[in-house]
Homo-oligomer: A and B are copies of this chain.
Amino acid sequence: MDPFGMEIKQTIRDKRISTGIEGLDSLLLGGFPQGSITLVSGTPGTGKTIVCFQYIDAGLKKGEKCLYLTSDERVNNLIYQAKEVGFNFQSFIDKGQLKFLYLDLERRDVHKEMDDEIRTGGYTRVVLDSLTPLSEVPVWLVNKGNEIIPSDLPSDRSTFPINSIQATRTHIRRIMSILEEDDCTTLVTSEIPEGSRCLSRDSISEFLVDGILLLDLDSTMDRRKLTIRKMRGTKHTLKPQDISINEGGIRLI
């Protein structure tokens, strides 16, 4: 089986962005495709946030400007957690190379705030950790889906009833289109409830992204796995890869 011939395309646009995970870049022909959005999904405790930390860390080491979007109020906690795995983010925050942006889901302009930051910030790497709470915010989509307004404002211009699957799908697509502005390469995390076989909490996102990394664990065997479930323009193995989580984060073993 000959590898996916990427010689010509790489000269066009298919630059690869390193994942920061030891052993994963080589399975992805160098990393995530530049400008792509990759979904990082998993049940609780499988390491979704650690994947994001490593991705940011890899960018920081190359001098790239990085953005970490979170709807968790405890930004300090995240920074501390990163430290526990071995990443000192504070120094990069201090020199303006890394920004943690708290997305306040109660604010009516949360989408605009995210949009502004990405468009004007000059980031090459963006993380949205996690997509799930943001995608659950009920919104009206108006102006051909280019505008999102909170559900407590009356809208007679919206086509889709609030909370319909169509509204959710359009909302997620709108979030995705914000994330892919300005040619940044993005990771978004999504919760998978234990026992579900879906690839995201909403079961829609996985059809809208360019790549999917699935994190899993097997308690009985005491093993952790990472599976490349999809990656646009990349011939990759589908086999679940054994991983360990140590100081420095996830590593393929």
Contact = CB atoms under 8 A, between A and B. Distances in A.
Contact of A152 (B159, B170, B193): B159
Given A44-B207, A138-B166, A219 B229 contact: yes
A212 interface: yes
A44 B246 contact: no
A91 interface: no
Given A212-B45, A238-B218, A138 B160 contact: yes
Contacts of A199: 43-44, 193-194
Contacts of A132: 207
Given A106-B159, A136-B164, A219-B227, 19 more contacts: A2-B246, A5-B86, A44-B207, A73-B173, A108-B159, A132-B207, A133-B169, A136-B169, A137-B159, A137-B166, A152-B158, A163-B164, A194-B199, A195-B197, A217-B238, A219-B229, A222-B238, A224-B238, A235-B246
Given A159-B106, A198-B193, A219-B227, A81 B232 contact: yes
B229 A45 contact: yes
A100 interface: no
A236 to B, nearest CB: 10
Interface of A: 1-2, 4-5, 9, 12-14, 43-45, 73-74, 80-81, 83-86, 104-108, 130, 132-133, 136-138, 141, 144-145, 150-152, 156, 158-161, 163-166, 169-170, 173, 177, 180, 191, 193-199, 203, 206-207, 212, 217-220, 222-224, 227, 229-233, 235, 237-240, 244-247
